[in-house]
Structure 1
Amino acid sequence: MKVTTDTPDLLVVDDKPLFLGIMLIVFILVFVAAGLMIVMSGEPLGILFGLFGGGMGLAAFAVFVRRVQVVFHGPEGYVELRRRNLFGGSRMRHDLNEIARAEIEESRSNEGGATWRVVLVIEEGQSVGRHPITLAYSNGRGHHRAAEAINRWLDAARGHARREA
């Protein structure tokens, strides 16, 4: 998760799982290539090997590789959450004033390792609740930096709005 734009009027936070996407593409290519090699050696069941392995990799790619972008637009007063995967995309828009803050949710594995995701907290209105930016938890400091940037930007935007009123 990375802050790609941070101006007084606009904050854009992106999550592009490049490493996961590249690894799944390599997985697909390895299985398809192995299947072709098996077919070329005279074993027709290599087709099933390539199709099954490549298909599993493609299914994992479709499910897990999802680009997420959150746009905080001060002048127009909205927050837009954009998600995109192989099958298309979706957009969800909230009024900027509805967003109370960003928080970090933590998940721990049985081995004690922690992973995180950023959620937007809405305390009143139609969309009350915790709205995760990414559906999956992951490790790294990007989530903490993104939550801090969102909260800092929201505080500055609210201060600017109060000064104008």
Structure 2
Amino acid sequence: MKVTRNDPNQLILSDTPWFIGIMLVFFILAFVGPGLLLMSEGGEGIWFGLIFALGGGGLGFGAFCAFVRRVQVILDRTKDSIVIRRQSVFGYEAVEHVLSNLSHAEIESTTSRSNKGSSTLYRPVLVLNKGMSAGRHPIVEAYSNGSGSHRLVDAVNEWLPARKVDSDSQSA
């Protein structure tokens, strides 16, 4: 996820997983193409080709549905709103909150342990301290490693106290 707009009146965070989406389309085609080729040869190849195309293509399509989601978060001072938009193969969802209810953004973390040690994963959340939507609202649903979550939280927390620039009052 990255900051696509950062001005005094609007902060937009956006994530479109192009790379994983394109890789999964290639994965699907790698199974469906040879499967259709085997089916076109006839004989016993029809059933093997059908299983190959449906099995591999179906797994790729399932992964595409599970992992490819577009997320956009719009914090807008002029409308006093926060809009969290999520779009996937299954549909579109938009959740709106009141910006003046937003206290700050912070990091949620989870730790997983294995034989090789432990690893900590993070996700950014918006903390609303009042109103009907009071509570913690994840910007993204999945946890990840790296500094991306920290960058988003820093961007939101730096943007929140910023004052609207008044274009009428200019000093000489």
Identify the TM-score tier after normalising by the shorter chain: 0.7 to 0.9
> 4+ runs of 1 displaced by more than 6 Å?
none
Amino acid at match of 2:35: G
Q: Report the equivalent of 1:117.
A: 123
Change in Cα spacing, 1:107 to 1:22, as seen in structure 2 (3 Å) is: farther
Change in Cα spacing, 1:74 to 1:132, as seen in structure 2 (3 Å) is: same
Amino acid at match of 1:131: H
1:44 aligns with 2:46: yes
What displacement does 1:40 show? Answer: 4.5
1:20-74 deviations in Å (ceiling 9; x for gaps): 2122112111111232243355411211220121112112211221100000111
How many corresponding residue pairs?
Answer: 159
Change in Cα spacing, 1:26 to 1:144, as seen in structure 2 (3 Å) is: same
Amino acid at match of 2:39: V
1:19 aligns with 2:25: no
The whole-number CA distance in structure 1 between the counterparts of 2:124 and 2:143 is 9
1:74-117 deviations in Å (ceiling 9; x for gaps): 11111111111122211111110111111111223334233221
The whole-number CA distance in structure 2 between the counterparts of 1:80 and 1:135 is 15
The structure where helix makes up a greater share of residues is 1
The whole-number CA distance in structure 1 between the counterparts of 2:160 and 2:99 is 9
- The counterpart of 2:107, out of the listed 104, 117, 124, is 104
SS of 2:133's partner is coil
Amino acid at match of 2:137: H
The whole-number CA distance in structure 2 between the counterparts of 1:102 and 1:4 is 18
Q: Report the equivalent of 2:169.
A: none
Say which one has the larger Rg. 2
The whole-number CA distance in structure 2 between the counterparts of 1:62 and 1:5 is 28
After alignment, is 86-95 or 66-75 more displaced? 86-95
How is 1:3-18 mapped onto 2 (pairs within 5 angstroms)?
A: 3-18=3-18
Alignment root-mean-square deviation, CA? 1.9
The TM-score, its normalising length taken from structure 1, stands at 0.87
- The counterpart of 2:139, out of the listed 130, 133, 136, is 133
The whole-number CA distance in structure 2 between the counterparts of 1:141 and 1:22 is 24
1:151 aligns with 2:153: no
Gaps of 5+ in 2: 165-172
Amino acid at match of 2:46: P
SS of 1:20's partner is helix
The whole-number CA distance in structure 2 between the counterparts of 1:17 and 1:143 is 16
Identity of aligned residues (%): 46
Change in Cα spacing, 1:123 to 1:145, as seen in structure 2 (3 Å) is: same
